[in-house]
Amino acid sequence: MMNKNLYNYILGVADNSLILGQRLGELCGHGPSLETDIALTNISLDLLGQVRGYYQYAAKILGGNASEDTIAFIRKERDYKNVLLVEQPNTDFAYVIARQFLFDVYHVLFLDQLQHSRDLTLSAIAKKSLKEALYHKRFSSDWIKRLGDGTDESHSRIQNAMNDLWVFTNELFQLTEADKEMLNEGIGVDVTQLKADYYNQLNDVLNEATIEIPEVKFFQKGGKEGVHTEHMGYILAEMQYMQRAYPNMEW
């Protein structure tokens, strides 16, 4: 019998990297400099490489004709379990960096714990992914500091981006039913225990970057339960086009 909670747990982890990787892929050829363009593209490829490992495992759990491709591309919007943060648009370079930074700090903390999972497959994926995520975090943190403590224009833009995206951070630490079940089995990560360290790390970098910590009373949520922003449909329309236009195609 399929372990539905494990399957949904994997989606909750992998979908974040899939959608963020797709967002970064939109920037290929549009970076502010060649070096930065290549770096963002490589981060996208890292994330998509991680996703393949997760989805291959999920396909085994699902059985039948499921594959990494069907899980990645042939699902409806409500079936994706990514947080709202990663689907936010590439408004400008500051938004790209702020979104990346807010996810990277969480991702490193999460993978550091997931590598100790009792599930050996998830543990192996986490150990490999952690090395990449540490680079992603260093890249985005450095850019936060450069933009925040740079020109008046760069400071204003990164401050505005951080103000707008901060409302999506708290969802990272909400537990779904699948999260709770996997936590009880020693497979999943208790993300609620990561929250204090996460915001402390954010504050340290933002203070160094002379960026004010946004004050937010109400946070946005819903992505983990499949309730997404208006941006998600556009992402999927582009991402899924080939698979839906030419079913069962082979390269």
pLDDT at 170 over 70: yes
Q: Is 70 exposed, middle or buried (0-12, 13-18, 19+ CB in 10 A)?
A: middle
* Interatomic CA distance for residues 68 and 56, integer angstroms: 5
pLDDT at 249 over 80: no
| 248: number of Cβ within 10 Å | 8
pTM: 0.95
Tell me the percentage of the chain whose pLDDT exceeds 90.
Answer: 88
Question: What pLDDT was estimated at residue 243?
Answer: 85
When pLDDT is cut at 50, 70 and 90, the band that residue 35 belongs to is confident
Is 61 within 8 Å of 2 (Cβ atoms)?
A: yes
pLDDT at 251 over 90: no
Q: Please state the rounded mean pLDDT for residues 75-83.
A: 96
pLDDT tens string 90-101: 999 999 999 999
**DSSP character at residue 102:** H
Domain boundaries, the chain: 4-245
Long-range contacts of 52-60 (CB under 8 A, 24+ apart): 53/125, 53/128, 53/129, 54/10, 54/13, 54/14, 54/17, 54/125, 55/10, 55/14, 57/10, 57/121, 57/122, 57/125, 58/7, 58/10, 58/11, 58/14
Question: What pLDDT was estimated at residue 80?
Answer: 97
Q: How high is the mean pLDDT of the chain?
A: 95
| Residue 13 tokens, joined | 């982890």
pLDDT tens string 103-155: 999 999 999 999 999 999 999 999 999 999 999 999 999 999 999 999 999 99
CATH of domain 4-245: 1.20.1260.10
| 25: number of Cβ within 10 Å | 17
When pLDDT is cut at 50, 70 and 90, the band that residue 2 belongs to is low
pLDDT at 69 over 80: yes
Q: Please state the rounded mean pLDDT for residues 60-83.
A: 94
